[in-house]
């Protein structure tokens, strides 16, 4: 059962709306179940807009994507970027600003796109193809635990990570006395992660 309707009755209802003779009913049906957009023969911009406003991932069913439909979709659901046929930097930034992990769907990563993703979710660093010290620093400033996603750790990045989140000491590959001291000074409980004696 889907709500109060069975799948069979829902399909029957949809068949009568799919031909768009009753546009208001079709809009209502698409608003409730955006996936039905794929069954509409003549998709209008208005119907597609209703679908992606309701569920950004409905973009996968839109036959003729426009930049504005894509923007609406990714603003509502960053993961809808996976269905955008023609990605622009503006659309990608909107997507990753909504959901940092949408960075995994970006075809051409730029520093601005990566920074927007990391600002939304420091752990989005794991999807950055070309990590820079600046992007790594941005991530650990947001959450020291993001140090586990840093491919090339430096003492400066590690120090910032433990200043932000002392328990990030557990992810420091090459601990130094200074880094350990900083972590323990920030939170004595970080002593449990000290590997050097």
CA distances 160 to 6, 62, 171, 176, Å, are: 55, 45, 13, 13
In 10 A of CB 37, how many CB atoms? 25
Sequence-distant (≥ 6) Cβ neighbours of residue 197 within 8 angstroms: none
Do the Cβ atoms of 69 and 62 come closer than 8 Å? yes
β-strand partners of 5: 2
Residue whose token pair is 């069913």: 61
**For 95-142, how does the pLDDT look when each residue is reduced to its tens digit (9 = 90+)?**
999 999 999 999 999 999 999 999 999 999 999 999 999 999 999 999
Looking at the DSSP bridge assignments, the partners of residue 2 are 5
Write the DSSP symbol of residue 107: S
Half-sphere exposure of 7 (CA within 13 A, CB side): 0
Question: Model-level pTM?
Answer: 0.81
First to last CA, the chain: 62
Measuring CA to CA, which residue among 157, 166, 163, 159 is closest to residue 139? 157
Q: What is the per-residue DSSP string for 6-65? A: -HHHHHHHHHHHHT-SSHHHHHHHHHH-GGGGGG-SS--HHHHHHHHHH-GGGGGG-SS-
User: Mean pLDDT for each consecutive 10-residue tract of the chain (197 residues)?
Assistant: 44 51 60 68 83 89 95 96 97 98 98 98 98 98 98 98 97 96 95 87
In this prediction, residue 84 carries a pLDDT of 98
CA neighbor of 83 nearest in space, from 97, 98, 71: 71
- Residue 86 DSSP label: S
pLDDT score recorded for residue 1: 33
pLDDT at 26: 61
């Amino acid at each position: 059962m889907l709500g109060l309707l069975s799948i069979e009755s829902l399909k029957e209802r949809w068949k009568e709306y799919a031909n768009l003779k009753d546009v208001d009913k079709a809009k209502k049906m698409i608003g409730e179940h955006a996936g039905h957009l794929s069954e509409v023969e003549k998709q209008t911009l208005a119907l597609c807009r209703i679908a992606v406003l309701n569920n950004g991932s409905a973009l996968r069913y839109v036959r003729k994507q426009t930049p504005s439909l894509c923007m609406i979709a990714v603003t509502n659901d960053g993961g809808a970027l996976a269905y955008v046929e023609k990605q622009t930097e503006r659309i990608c930034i909107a997507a990753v600003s909504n959901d940092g992990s949408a960075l995994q769907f970006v075809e051409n990563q730029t520093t601005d796109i990566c920074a927007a993703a990391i600002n939304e979710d420091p752990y989005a660093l794991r999807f950055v193809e070309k990590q820079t010290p600046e992007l790594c620093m941005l991530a650990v400033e947001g959450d020291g635990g993001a140090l586990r996603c840093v491919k090339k750790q430096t003492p400066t990045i590690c120090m910032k990570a433990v200043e932000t989140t002392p328990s990030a000491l557990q992810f420091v590959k090459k601990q130094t006395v200074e880094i350990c001291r900083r972590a323990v000074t920030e939170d004595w409980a970080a002593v449990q992660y000290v590997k050097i004696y």
